[in-house]
Amino acid sequence: MAKQARRTSTGGGAPSRAADGFVTELTGDPAEIPSVRRAIADLAERHGFAQRRSDLSLALDELIANAQEHGSPPITVRGWYDARLVLTVSDAGHGFDYDGIVRSHPPMMLGKRGRGLWIVRQLTDHVHVDPGSDGTTVRIELTHEPQIGA
């Protein structure tokens, strides 16, 4: 099991930091997001993922946007490093039909929705979605040696 920072937020969405990661709870206010972006960028740089920092930031933005639009607060964001960079975004919504949304092919070109998780899968090495009746958690990972087809 991954070692995670277990401290609570310092308020206003500011992540609490530990040597190996961070955790914060968001209320849904967009003003909270920049501090989370900075925390994940710092974590990425500390562990050799500086070149993928923008990919990780976009993936994080997509996951938070999905949690804000389709879930319910609190939205908990956790990040840590344990030989891979791991980020989870959890919400307290009612879950969703994962099988009906997730696809391996690109979304329809003229479609108005359905790009978020597809974009996340293109930018990260591993994505796991755990939808449930009491909320959804999406876990993404970056590795130093990504597995082709993983």
* Cα 26 to Cα 44: distance, rounded to the nearest angstrom: 21
What is residue 2's predicted lDDT score, i.e. its pLDDT? 31
For residue range 92-129, list pLDDT tens digits in order. Answer: 988 766 666 665 666 666 666 667 888 899 999 999 99
Q: What is the pLDDT of residues 23-82, one digit of tens each?
A: 999 998 889 999 999 999 999 999 999 999 999 999 999 999 989 988 899 999 999 998
pLDDT tens digits, one per residue of 9-31: 334 455 555 557 889 999 988 89
Number of Cβ atoms within 10 Å of the Cβ of 95: 16
Record the pTM.
0.80
Walk me through the domains of the chain, giving residue ranges and CATH numbers: 16-142 (3.30.565.10)
pLDDT at 5 over 50: no
Give the count of alpha carbons within 13 A of 65, CB side only: 13
CA distance linking residue 55 with residue 76, whole number of Å: 20
